[in-house]
Structure 1
Amino acid sequence: MLEKDLIKKCQQGDVAAFEELIASYQKKVYTIAYRYMGRKEEAEDLAQEAFIKVFKSIKGFRGESSFQTWLYHVVSNVCRDALRKNSRRAEDSLDCAVTTEKGEIKREVPDWSLSPELVFENKELGEFLQSMINQLSPEYKTVIIMREIQDMSYEEIANELNCSLGTVKSRLNRARKSLRDKIEGSKELNNINHRLSKQKEGN
């Protein structure tokens, strides 16, 4: 069944159609939530919360954007609300060690010394990157995820955050620099690079 037909059925309250509609988006929605929150359990809860919100509000979907864009907008809002609620606790723990779960990398992070293929495929590297993202402020984390994970344009980010294009570009540049500084200042990256180099030599 075509997506537009599934959406019409969902708007009539068809739960089975909704389950079919979201099946192909579940992994991506979880990934977005995990990149925001950095904890498996919280990401799962927020992904579920986002899907519930989508089901309840899908009658208002008018097709002015793609369903995917609309869905990711809902997910981002749910996650940003959670970040705001946890902002004090997050600020207190920015410099603390973070326990991360294994995950996959969707896009290249600028200025890494490894090839994008290794970044994407290596779970250890993905875990390290998530720990670095977790240390960013909510403001920086949001723009990094929107641009690098959700692949949103500058214009889309500006509309989403209700700010100017110049503000988005400036904030993203600062966020990238902050992330890059954290990565380059970490001894763990050198250890990972060394292990990956050994793996390549052994192949």
Structure 2
Amino acid sequence: MKAMLAGAEPEDRELLALARDGDRAAFARLVEQHYDFIYRVAWRWCGRKADAEDIAQEVCVRLGKSVRGFRGEGRFTTWLYQLTLNAARDHGRKLSRESARTWAYAVHALSDAAAEPEPEDAVDRLWDAVRLLPPKQCEAVLLVYGEGLTHEAASDVMGCAEATVSWHIHEAKKRLKTLMSQAGED
């Protein structure tokens, strides 16, 4: 069992082994240890507390259903990033079916919010703009700038080449510059 969980962080190995064998207390402890991480990634993805809570709850459910499938080939947190981003994407698709957002509306909303910005407001508006990027660009920015991952680590999470992550970041910066300048931001 330990060989299969070699990719897990040392403090998670025992909990993972027990959770995989059906130990509910170990699973609860694993979720407790990683819930803030899951919520933080979900919040950066969607920017709304209620949606982040829904996504985090969905990740916990998915984790319960799939913990036995974790083979330890990569780091547990990398696998958890993937699980969280998949749940966030699914949540976003559900929301987009329920109500459409347009680029022009977003630019208008960002410009309306631009009056006398406080530093935190500017950061919030920037993350709002990041969330409007195409999904892969948003993920790359979220992982590299929001979570502090290297391009290499982000490529593991996203399942693509490191150069592809760099390209997504480059394209995201160009789009953000355009979006923020249209909204009157620097």
TM-score (norm 2): 0.72
CA spacing shift, 1:60–1:67, aligned 2, 3 Å = same
Give the root-mean-square deviation of aligned CA atoms: 3.0
Partner of 2:3: none
Equivalent residues of 2:78, 2:157 under 8 A apart = no
* Percent of aligned pairs with the same amino acid: 29
Q: Which has the higher contact order (CA 8 A, sep 6+)?
A: 2
CA spacing shift, 1:25–1:123, aligned 2, 3 Å = farther
Distance 2:124 2:152 in 1: 30
**Could you list the runs of 5+ residues in structure 1 that have no partner in the other structure?**
100-118, 191-203
SS in 1 for 2:103: coil
1:171 aligns with 2:168: yes
Aligned residues: 168
Equivalent residues of 1:133, 1:179 under 8 A apart = yes
Partner of 1:94: 103
**Counterpart residue identity of residue 32, structure 1:** V
Distance 1:3 1:169 in 2: 31
Partner of 1:144: 141
Selected match of 2:31 from 22, 25, 33: 22
1:32 aligns with 2:41: yes
Structural mapping, 1:74-113, within 5 Å: 74-86=83-95, 92-97=101-106
- The worse-fitting range, judged by mean Cα deviation, of 40-49 and 176-185 is 176-185
**Could you list the runs of 5+ residues in structure 2 that have no partner in the other structure?**
1-9, 111-117
Give the ranges of 4+ consecutive aligned residues of structure 1 lying more than 6 Å apart after TM superposition: 88-91
**Counterpart residue identity of residue 124, structure 2:** E
Deviations 1:15-65 (A, max 9, x none): 222222222322221121122223222221111111111121111222222
Equivalent residues of 1:10, 1:18 under 8 A apart = yes
Distance 1:20 1:65 in 2: 21
1:180 aligns with 2:154: no
